[in-house]
Structure 1
């Protein structure tokens, strides 16, 4: 596994959900805060996204936008004033009315077709890469920009149109791919985030790849420095400056975060999980886990299974 994949896997829950809607005329809808990440893809036309407390973001055909922290926002056919934002129609009601009006809806001038969806995320142990994403990640559909993202959007549009055999599996997989490509595209363009810099630094990236590839290995600073091809002081300096933790502190945090993911997603015993994340005994893992998360692994798993 690589760092971006692990960062997503640690927080993602279940399958993404989505709605496809086609409208025309004048409209303004509100999407409330969500314990996850929201996204929109403009398949045709243009509209405006207005995040709460943020500047309006014009969206055009082929644009993708990710709201990684689930912030409330408004979508509208064009510029809106404060009164229109305040009185915006709830998204659920808007969708119901759009479905009732189909197939007549979205056939007039200024028609807009949108794919609106959300990813369920577990906020209890967000990887710092995910945490530093801005409130709105806007990826314009410019010709020649982000070709992988453009290809994923094209495939999504095709699956939505055709509803071919296998689409029940293809659509969630394409939506998962869309999330990866949106984050990857942000990293390629970001000039401020720490994690794009960390993964762009060959020494830090090599160390992170090694830790994520085999978190159960008996890592030491010397062994990790050898893996990255530098001296121990060089690794410590560059890794800590870019990641915000020393290599061994990051390893401890990631092992426990990975253990939490395994407790959530697998029926594995605590002994098996301890081995996979680099702890000699279930007791050692339980002690470290309780210190990090404030609860025992057993109670953590029981809470998730009980939905409480």
Structure 2
């Protein structure tokens, strides 16, 4: 696994959900704040995204937008004032009208889009995911983000009709869409500094790749420095400055977050989980886990199992 894959896997739970909607005329729909990430892909026409507390964003055909922190927002046929936004209908009403083949406002100015959301567990968010801005707008420009463009095209084709295997293909493509949106944000430079700078730094990036490739290995600063091809002081200085914590502190934190992911997503006994994340015994993992999360691994697993909800 690489850093981006691990960062996404650590917070993803359940399966993504999506709806394809087609609207026309004058319309305005609200999406309530969500404990996950929302997204929209415009397949035809154009519309506006009006995030709570943020500036309006114009969306054109082929544009993708990710709201990684579940920010409440409105999508509308045109920029709207506060009074119009307050009158926005819930998205569920818009969706119900589409399913009844009753696009609001008729066929003028038709807009077709894919609207959906990912369930995320923010309690263990990797700093790369936490650093994403409230709105990630990825405009459709010739030659930009080719993988994202391909995923959008494939999604559009899969959603054109009831194709065999769509029940597997669509969730898989939605997962790819999330990866490509995060990757595209990183490639565009993201925020000044931050994780785009971390992954662009040859020393920090090599060290992180090594830790994420084999978190259970008996890492030391000396061994990691050799892997990164620099001295121990150089690794410590550059890694700490960019990542925000020393290499071994990052590794300890990541091992516990990986343990939490395994406890949530597998039935492996605690001893097996401990071995997979670099702890010698179940007891040593349990002690460290309790200190980090304020609960034992067994109670954490039971709580996660009880709180798991069907995707939808």
* TM-score calculated relative to the size of structure 1: 0.97
Give unpaired runs (5+ residues) of structure 1.
none
Structure-2 residue corresponding to 1:159: 158
Which portions of structure 1, spanning 4 or more consecutive aligned residues, are displaced by more than 4 angstroms?
104-107
CA distance in 2, matches of 1:86, 1:304: 36
Structure-1 residue corresponding to 2:115: 116
CA distance in 2, matches of 1:164, 1:243: 45
Structure-1 residue corresponding to 2:181: 182
Structure-2 residue corresponding to 1:23: 23
State which drifts further: 85-94 or 260-269. 85-94
CA distance in 2, matches of 1:239, 1:278: 21
CA distance in 2, matches of 1:107, 1:206: 55
Structure-1 residue corresponding to 2:222: 222
Structural mapping, 1:108-257, within 5 Å: 108-189=107-188, 190-257=190-257
Deviation at residue 163 of structure 1 after TM alignment? 2.9
CA distance in 1, matches of 2:19, 2:79: 23
Deviation at residue 305 of structure 1 after TM alignment? 1.1
SS in 1 for 2:71: coil
CA distance in 1, matches of 2:230, 2:148: 35
Deviation at residue 108 of structure 1 after TM alignment? 2.0
CA distance in 2, matches of 1:305, 1:233: 43
Structure-2 residue corresponding to 1:73: 73
CA distance in 2, matches of 1:77, 1:162: 26
CA distance in 1, matches of 2:263, 2:197: 31
CA distance in 2, matches of 1:14, 1:227: 36
CA distance in 1, matches of 2:307, 2:83: 39
Render the CA deviation track for 1:163-198: whole Å, top value 9, x for unaligned: 321111110000000000000000011241411110
CA distance in 1, matches of 2:282, 2:191: 42
Structure-1 residue corresponding to 2:272: 272
Render the CA deviation track for 1:63-83: whole Å, top value 9, x for unaligned: 000000001000000111110
CA RMSD of aligned residues (A): 1.2
Render the CA deviation track for 1:16-43: whole Å, top value 9, x for unaligned: 0001000101000110010100000000
CA distance in 1, matches of 2:236, 2:110: 55
SS in 1 for 2:100: helix
The 8 Å contact of residues 52 and 72 in structure 2, kept in 1 or not, is answered as yes
CA distance in 2, matches of 1:304, 1:50: 34
Deviation at residue 106 of structure 1 after TM alignment? 8.3
CA distance in 2, matches of 1:91, 1:216: 45
> How has the CA–CA distance of structure 1 residues 107 and 34 changed in structure 2, closer, same or farther, with 3 Å as cutoff?
same
* TM-score calculated relative to the size of structure 2: 0.96
SS in 1 for 2:79: coil
Structure-2 residue corresponding to 1:63: 63
CA distance in 1, matches of 2:127, 2:200: 16
The 8 Å contact of residues 71 and 134 in structure 2, kept in 1 or not, is answered as yes
Structure-1 residue corresponding to 2:44: 44
SS in 1 for 2:128: helix
Aligned pairs, number: 307
SS in 1 for 2:50: strand
CA distance in 2, matches of 1:162, 1:231: 57
The 8 Å contact of residues 35 and 69 in structure 2, kept in 1 or not, is answered as yes
